[in-house]
Structure 1
Amino acid sequence: MTASTPPLHPMEREQLRAASTLVVTVKSSDEFHEDVTADIESLEHGDSVDATSTLSFTSYDDLMETLTPRVLDLIEAIRREKPSRINETARVVGRDVKNVHEELSRLAQLGIIFFEEEGPSKRPVVWFDELLITLSFEPESGDTVITASEGRYDA
């Protein structure tokens, strides 16, 4: 972990372990702020909120640059092999230890993984069973809506 990535509190780790799905979305900063504000207001009024663990990116490019096939393979390898430290993780995926360490640190900053410290070693943990990516495609004004029955595609 880096100085900017504080270790998770044991309660936070247990809450993540209890969750089985990580939802990944693309939202603008304004949309994200509005959602968080609405959730806070709901909680203040005693209402419940959706407790699904969600990671929001501000652009499709950020999402695609972060969750590359190589990163998804790394996540899958950690889930499957359960390596006990970063060096072993690098060996499992056949990659350079330094690069794997940097990638794991980034994933930890995003909350996609966390580290369990066992003596001098850090064991990467993928806490979810399912990664669900949801993308909303809002039609812009002036776009042509095409129905399947029309059988044509307008540009």
Structure 2
Amino acid sequence: MNEQILTIKVGTGIQSSLALAQQMMERLELGEEPTPYFGVGFKDMSQMLSVFTPKRWDLLAALREQGAMSIAELARTLQRDYKNVHNDVERLMEWLAIERDAQGKVFTPYSEIVVDVHLPQQRAA
């Protein structure tokens, strides 16, 4: 079973990404194999929720439970309009949450999706 994890970071700045890159470089310099990291980032919750809508979460869950399938099969499984499911699949592919296999079926390569939300910094009084 595939154990890749997609990390969705919300509200973290470039410093978080730079720190992760530095850790990976240090491990490589020590001759260690770094753990693969798959992640996407969003400025704020509204931006993240515009991509990962409730219907798209349902779509991801269906793919995880059922495995790879055509978009038409997915639309039937979800009892949704084909065009809307197709648009959702395309959007989630842009954000790395869905991939297409050699037969053209779509699937999610992740065993887990972790959402990491950071609240904005408090402004000085």
With structure 1 as the length reference, what TM-score do the two structures score? 0.65
Relative to structure 1, the CA distance from residue 37 to residue 130 in structure 2 (aligned partners, 3 Å threshold; closer, same or farther) is closer
Matched, 1:95 2:65: no
Matches within 5 A, 1:117-132: 117-118=102-103, 122-132=104-114
Measured in 1, the distance between the counterparts of 2:4 and 2:18 equals 25
Measured in 1, the distance between the counterparts of 2:52 and 2:69 equals 23
Relative to structure 1, the CA distance from residue 50 to residue 139 in structure 2 (aligned partners, 3 Å threshold; closer, same or farther) is farther
Q: How large is the Cα RMSD of the aligned pairs?
A: 2.7
Matches within 5 A, 1:1-155: 18-27=2-11, 30-31=14-15, 34-35=18-19, 38=22, 41-42=25-26, 45-46=29-30, 49=34, 51-82=36-67, 84-118=69-103, 122-142=104-124
Larger relative contact order (CA 8 Å, sep ≥ 6): 2
Q: Aligned with 1:76: secondary structure? A: helix
User: Is the Cα–Cα contact under 8 Å of residues 83 and 89 in structure 1 kept in the other structure?
Assistant: no
Relative to structure 1, the CA distance from residue 34 to residue 99 in structure 2 (aligned partners, 3 Å threshold; closer, same or farther) is same
Unaligned runs of 5+ in 2: none
Measured in 2, the distance between the counterparts of 1:133 and 1:33 equals 15
For the pair shown, which has the larger CA radius of gyration, 1 or 2? Answer: 1
- Tell me the percent identity: 19
